[in-house]
Structure 1
């Protein structure tokens, strides 16, 4: 509950309800938890002149579903790893709030920080989330996460209020993942307010929530009660303005039916992002947490080792997202499909601004749009002050974003959705108008004319200023880019493989071809491919290595050289105290084999051999875990 005078409330409690135990939360400072409240006590509490709001604490959180598969291509995490191999989350730490993950999992080797002691059993779900965020890929390629060298710490979701921010900061945590939920809740409660206050007190800490897996359900309460399949986000804490809620899509970018939809209780855009999670929004949130770590790391490398504001991380992630579902924003996919590579490129190319504004003041930023840009996109985000419990509308400080082109005097407003409580209204396309509801605003212009533009950020209503804000922008990229295969990709011969790419351009067809290593002739895989589809399936033949190319009307696009071989199964021949023998099947075309051992933090090269057998002496046996890879064409 929240109270308006701590001293008077405590005195009243001692007199009226002496058997009830009272404990105070750190933030907001007027929030208390009461233990031992019985039904007759509630009427007294509600009549207390010092009590302003009563909420239900400690609802039992539930994991949003275990992980069955992973995909680092849909959200361009694998392409990011290929483009920037040194960007892997080094020096960053993530907190995974739910049940404890398994600290002995070899995919976290040497990177687990000591958290709170707990008697709870380790959770397979939490371990899967931690793997998606920061798995090291030691167990298998599927064990590699987005920020695969980041540190990890476990936190407990039995307390739904925010964790001690000072302690998180002390332990170096810059992102906390929340892949859990409760029932559908549509109001601005004490947990909502606490997370908004937490974000303003610790402005560099990013909180990422799963939207929930109740996408086909109907809210039993609130403004949108009784409307089927909308406003079904699982937990009032996910209504917070200054956090990210993430929905789930399949590998084609389609929002899966079970992914919880918005709007938020007051009509704001929720979820803000979607990411791959065919089995639910848990893994989608985990992927976005990993991306957030990489955005923070890229910023630290560019700007002298300091962390970015969390509002900037949010602006960058939303601005770089790829539109999916209905055009512009919507209540199913928010601002779009998260794009890790695009987000990091925004930071590395310094396409962002940070500043602050007061009531009626205005900040103006100038950008120059290059010729041939497919789309100009700008996103404004700010961490807003916490609202009062049960507020009809959460927004306190209201900023306005406008795009202006001096050469033609044209102006563009942000995209805004109808939030009227009717199913037809909630599916209407976004329109350009001032936004006085959200603390995120976005403007897009398709095929903008080249030249100088101005971004105007104005303090429309700033009762608690000055208000800090962040702006990110991009111009889009035209052309073709391979997503799979990439450098280091391995295909299994005779097994259908999904080839994927990005194409920004006119709808057209192309010819897909492949060339085995050592050959000079290209062979047709598919004579006609729809480039806008972004994928096709190919069953590779037996070959040591190969390369693909897409022949389009405007150019030829070569893939990286990739390998083709069946997965190697490393076997133990014998294991004795003085030595052990490992063996594996031969791979056609392999000149050597690289043996790896698991060191303090990850797999390290141990030795190379031309044989398919390795004898390990006693000095190498303490490594315990080993892996092998064929050497094909010096790779």
Structure 2
């Protein structure tokens, strides 16, 4: 047999003799999954590959020892004895090989290789790396039983058959989830949080950022970087955007302001997909790390998922936040949800971990974008758990969530003087999220839209509980439900021990949440169908016992007043005898209406189109109105707005004023707090001299003054105030080249910070914007001068070099406060040559400012002009055109002393080394002599 027959073909040939038919009369063609996972050797794994005609259901699969699902119809089972009813749906049973220990993507790669090939793989192992056989270990992780190894394909079956091999995967590379920087903090209620809790800024917190290095010179990130031994060597704009969303100072303007503005950032390279070492987090004091990257669609519980679950379970207070991915329109190629486009498409096995927080994206209309990756997880868990604003990708959604998490941890520390457990933070964030789409969770938006201010209020109101349960026991937590409560919501969360790679279900310690009210009603948590069909995965949530998730939530509409008992029952603890858990709850008042955006004191940009946001349990429709005169008059914005929609678009008027919003229904109305409207001021640089800077801007109606800010240290600080729209300032007053202007209303309040400019990068210099000398067709010269500003300029002089001195050709008086900053003088030299011009400005204080020298060449009625004659050190040749020209210098004896091609319209030739005397310059076009001139070389 040819040694190059692929392994795939060997599978096919031998498989024909090893297939067990359920019915002798039934023959089906061998499919690709059978080719890859059915045994073709004399040493099967002891497991069975069973093909069903339809998905048989979780109960039957678990009953027969489900080890792994390869598709809705193909499953690896530990035993394959079926009763007569079950057997009706069994198509075939095969002895399984050991490829079920491998990721499906790796098995696909292996099936294309030849026997003489080798492959690098990532191996999860038992015992020690030294006991691995049939491979060559290359590099091992220090904290996890994972090694990169080289395997020969002829040894593949023996290698995977080892008991010491738990799971084998491809080597994968991280890549950023595409993001277009477009921060919109109002969607996640960050603005309201900043307004109501201004002391929460992330001070003394260090946030981990796992990807490439961010730009530490960006003025929004100055001083943010904490030295890190794990930082990447390359700077990536994506990392800079993520860092800005998390902790930007806002020096460049409002869009550059992050969530936790005083937080520090520690960078680690994402080329290591496994978690960073525990000591890295301990030494840096990091309790949250952002992961805005992915690999490919990986629908299994792999080595990284195990490692992240293990790390969080060990460190307990460390929370890893992942973007769900930007492949939401794709379909898994393996697993229970194989072939279902738009579902189960998280981008990376690390996002299949139980103890992490996975965040999807949402747009301004509360819609989950098509490309935002969706759940369920490989085993049916509800993923993503939350959504946050991510118009162009889930990277920014994750980064925003990381910033909010930092403030939630800070708020918890303020109240309880300890760092919260990661599971507690998850309970807080999930419970305070706003339910969107259908009632209850779903596989697109998880448990809802992140609500920053509601999360912090949960902590401030101490609506939290932590406890422990042992196997078979129940913890009971009484909670009072006030009157007029529209909705009671309770969330249970716990850090679950890590399972082993490639399991069919990740949950080990199974806790059950239930709530009983004081009239005897009992409520179970929300569940979603896990059946692999589109109509099942989009079905509304229902109540039931949850045996998959380590996040469970109960919500009750119009709950009974009085005490409810929250029950946490430890149904099964597969690891350990005690499980710690965390609970958060909230009671939303029946008559509540809260303006979320704009918040009190919010700075709105005049002319923008924004989404006004509110939060209320009220239904029906209302009319949204605006007032710029403290409520004396109201201007309708929109009518018949569904209150349950929670937002409406508004074109902000182009005014400089305080404002109010009002929502009105037939029987009541709700008025917002005051907010500010102003236009950001754009700065023009008038001139930029070594010691003085002049800037100007367009005046703002109703502004009584303007505050000038410059960058001092790491943040913008006020440097001066003026009532004019032109500012002349000494550079000695400025600590940096960055400036911004804020208008001050006549009533004394400051408006919106304008964009920050680096005046050194505006292309404007001291007085002169441009000086040009142009030769016209009549051999006249136009000398044009454009000033940056005529401020303090008395007179303009045009000058030409004559001999060794500049002489004045003409002058022009400047009209004070004139708007025309351009002037022109026409010169008529009258002969051929190179002419040098400059412009001199006479200032009002008597000083003179000179422009750079401009040169032009003129040839009148001739093609070539050679000068100066006589010459001592060099000659210059001017040409009116270019062609196949050759220049040659000869002495009076006819000897050639110099020759070269003529390639430029102005050429300068050194005469160094030539003896004094008379020479002839000749120019040839091809072989024809077209120019001759005698010149004298004098002594140097």
Normalised-by-shorter TM-score class: over 0.9
1:583 aligns with 2:705: no
Query: Equivalences for 1:304-323 in 2 at 5 Å?
Result: 304=417, 306-323=418-435
Match of 1:337, SS state, is coil
Which residue in the other structure is 2:72 paired with? none
2:709 touches 2:719 (CA, 8 Å); kept in 1? yes
Instruction: Give 1:546 shift.
Output: 3.3
- From 456, 469, 483, the counterpart of 2:567: 456
Contact 2:384 2:445 in 1 (8 A): yes
> Offset at 1:375?
0.5
Matched, 1:48 2:168: no
Q: In the alignment, is residue 468 of structure 1 matched against residue 580 of structure 2?
A: yes
Q: 1:39 to 1:535 in 2, by over 3 A?
A: same
User: How many angstroms does 1:22 deviate by?
Assistant: 4.1
Change beyond 3 A, Cα 1:538–1:415: closer
TM-score by length of 2: 0.64
1:3 aligns with 2:116: no
Confirm or deny that 1:533 pairs with 2:645. Answer: yes
Q: Is the 8 A contact 2:655 2:679 kept in 1?
A: no
Alignment match of 2:379 (pick from 266, 276, 284): 266
Query: Structure 1 residues 624 and 352, CA, compared in 2 at 3 Å: closer, same or farther?
Result: same
Distance, in Å, in 2 between the alignment partners of 1:53 and 1:493 is 58
Aligned positions of 1:480-629 closer than 5 A: 480-516=593-629, 520-526=632-638, 528-550=640-662, 551-629=664-742
Q: Which structure would you say has the larger RCO, counting Cα contacts within 8 Å and 6 or more residues apart?
A: 1
Describe the shift of the 1:171–1:52 C-alpha distance in structure 2 as closer, same or farther (beyond 3 A).
same
1:326-375 deviation per Cα after TM superposition (whole angstroms, max 9, x unaligned): 21011111111111111111011110101111101221111100101111
Matched-pair contact (CA < 8 Å) for 1:545–1:561: no
CA offsets, 1:231-259, max 9 Å, x none? 11111110000001111111121111111
Displacement of 1:303 after TM fit?
A: 1.0
Paired residues of 1:516 and 1:543 also in contact (CA < 8 A): no
Identify the residue that residue 930 of structure 2 maps to in structure 1.
none
Instruction: Give matches, 1:6-17, under 5 Å.
Output: 6=128, 9-11=129-131, 13=133, 17=135
Is 1:325 aligned to 2:405, yes or no?
no
- 1:447 maps to which of 541, 544, 558: 558
Larger relative strand fraction: 2
SS in 2 for 1:619: helix
CA distance in 2, matches of 1:424, 1:486: 40
Secondary structure at 2:194's aligned position in 1? Answer: helix
d(CA) in 2 for partners of 1:462, 1:410? 27
Relative to 1, partners in 2 of residues 1:288 and 1:541: Cα closer, same or farther, differing over 3 Å?
closer
Residue in 2 that maps onto 1:634: 748
Structure 1 Cα separation of the partners of residues 386 and 177 of structure 2 = 17
Contact 1:25 1:33 (8 Å CA) reproduced: no
- Asked if the contact 2:511–2:569 (Cα under 8 Å) also holds between the matched residues in 1, the reply is yes
Listed as ranges, the gaps of 5+ residues in structure 1 are: none
CA spacing shift, 1:265–1:565, aligned 2, 3 Å:
same
Q: By how many angstroms is 1:115 displaced? A: 2.0
User: Which residue of structure 1 lines up, in the alignment, with residue 60 of structure 2?
Assistant: none
1:294 to partner: Cα distance: 1.0
Larger Rg: 2
Report what 2:523 is aligned to: 412
Residue by residue over 1:136-180, the C-alpha shift from the partner in whole angstroms, topping out at 9 and shown as x without a partner, is: 111110111121221112111111000112112211211111111
> 1:568–1:487: structure 2 CA closer, same or farther, 3 Å change rule?
farther
What are the equivalent positions in structure 2 for 1:20-99 lying under 5 Å apart? 20-27=137-144, 31-40=145-154, 42-57=156-171, 59-99=172-212
Mapped contact 2:710–2:734 kept (Cα < 8 A): no
Q: What do the CA deviations read for 1:303-338 (whole angstroms, capped 9, x no partner)?
A: 12x210000000011101111122101111111111
CA distance in 2, matches of 1:52, 1:490: 56
Return the offset for 1:110: 1.9
CA distance in 1, matches of 2:404, 2:610: 26
In the aligned structure 1, how far is the partner of 2:230 from the partner of 2:536? 49
Quote the Cα distance in structure 1 between the aligned partners of 2:697 and 2:604.
Answer: 18
Aligned to 1:246: 359
Deviation at 1:548, TM superposition (A): 2.3
Contact 2:211 2:268 in 1 (8 A): yes
2:549 alignment counterpart: 438
Alignment CA distance shift 1:351-1:626 (3 Å): same
Q: 1:575 to 1:227 in 2, by over 3 A?
A: same
Alpha-carbon distance between aligned partners in 2 of 1:538 and 1:23, rounded to the nearest angstrom: 57
110-119 vs 586-595, which moves further: 110-119
Give yes or no for contact 2:712–2:735 (8 Å, CA) kept in 1.
Answer: no
1:287 and 2:400 are equivalent in the alignment: yes
Structure 1 residues 282 and 458 mapped into 2: Cα distance closer, same or farther (>3 Å)? same
- Count matched residues: 623
Q: TM-score, normalised by structure 1?
A: 0.94
